[in-house]
Amino acid sequence: MGFWGAVRSELIKVKHTSFGTIHLCVPVLGALLFIVYYVLYGNTADYKRLNMIMELTATVFPLLISVIVSLNVLLEEKASHFQILLGVPNRYTVILTKLIVLYGVGIAALFCLFFVFLLGVHFLRIADTVQLSMLIKAAAGMAFYNLIIYALHLFLSFRFGLGISLFWGVFESLQCILYSNIELKGIGRYIPFAWSMNWVHDVINDRLTVHVTEWIWIAALTISGVLLTLLWFSHWEGRKNYE
């Protein structure tokens, strides 16, 4: 099966599930909440309002990722206890395709969130108060640095199941709330689920150039984490309770 055939297969699997509904409704509802927030706090400095929106997005994202990934892997578990996946040659291509589909649709939902938000503030004639370049830069970095979260939850879901993945997603989001109120320094900035929040703060406070070396290393860690996940799955033999 070629790449596009594998992608089509993944999309067919989720066709009659809540996958599409979640990726459409959550961004739209989030955008509406952000628009209301922008209107109600019109006298607040724009960078503070933008910071609040980006922090909230960075906080909710890990939890949503855990839900989406866990439900997707649960489909494979219910269908055949992973036997179909385990019997496919070059299994790393299967997990890579699944990661690309989940991540791609998730990032599309993220940019849908901010697109609907921008449409709303433009319609209400308050678009001039939004620093568009800052919003795009923050969203782009948030998109890339959440790739590791997708890979991590694929590992957790396949290896341990839905419960552990969801629990870890809640833990990640709670940690993001903590990191929104404190500034991590040194080795603390390399905690994976802090990357999105740190990126947002660096963009809002114009500190990207100060931490440019760190972000290069974090990008390398992101790619390495994805490759390790692919390597692990290519040698995975299923859960013990299915042996």
Two tokens at 240? 């013990």
Tell me the torsion sign for CA atoms 105, 110, 113, 114. negative
- Mean pLDDT for the stretch of residues 136-162: 93
Which of 42-51, 131-140, 148-157 has the largest mean confidence?
148-157
* Percent of the chain at pLDDT exceeding 70: 96
Please tell me which residue, 147 or 241, carries the higher pLDDT value: 147
Distance CA 139, CA 131 (A): 12
59 has pLDDT over 50: yes
Residue 87's pLDDT band (cuts 50, 70, 90): confident
Measure the CA–CA gap between 154 and 228, rounded to whole angstroms: 12
Q: Note whether 234 and 155 are within 8 A (CB).
A: no
End-to-end Cα separation, the chain, in angstroms: 27
Q: Encoding tokens for residue 128?
A: 């001039």
- Flag whether pLDDT at 243 surpasses 50: no
pLDDT at 112: 94
Per-chain mean pLDDT for the chain: 88
- pLDDT class for 129, splitting at 50, 70, 90? low
Q: Which residue has the higher pLDDT, 110 or 186?
A: 110
Amino acid 239 reads R
Model pLDDT, residue 242: 46
What would the mean pLDDT of 137-148 be, rounded to a whole number?
93
Residue 85: which residues within 8 A CB-CB, separation 6 or more?
76, 91, 94
Instruction: Please give the pLDDT value at position 64.
Output: 94
**What confidence score (pLDDT) does residue 65 get?**
96
pLDDT in tens, 220-242: 999 999 999 999 998 888 776 54
Structural contact between residues 7 and 101, judged by C-beta atoms closer than 8 angstroms: yes
Q: Give 82's pLDDT tier (boundaries 50, 70, 90).
A: confident
pLDDT tens per residue across span 35-57 = 999 888 878 888 888 889 999 99
